[in-house]
Structure 1
Amino acid sequence: MIRNVGTLDRTVRLALGAAFVAVTGVVLLVTGAGRICPLYLPFGIDTFDDRD
């Protein structure tokens, strides 16, 4: 396979990819710990069970 991604492009892609994964993980941890998801509100989604 012919390579067409240079060193700088590769570095930027790897750094941004890692940052997106880290940010997504943090968001999931915060919403899970706080038990509130702002994205659910406009759609009327409620998965909370009083037995939790």
Structure 2
Amino acid sequence: MGKAKGKITNWKLYNSALKQRGSLTFWMDEKAIELWNNTERSGRRGRSHTYS
């Protein structure tokens, strides 16, 4: 992260701007939501195929 160009005086505004910088919104259709959980078993060891 680079140096600030000036002294920050409004920390509330600065913090909210930093939060908005990492904001990401995306839309999923119903078919993608249905396929989100994998119900098939692979028969092999390892982590589950359930996504958070």
- TM-score normalized by structure 1? 0.30
Higher share of residues assigned helix: 1
Task: Find the structure with the greater CA-based Rg.
Answer: 2
- Give the TM-score taking structure 2 as reference length: 0.30
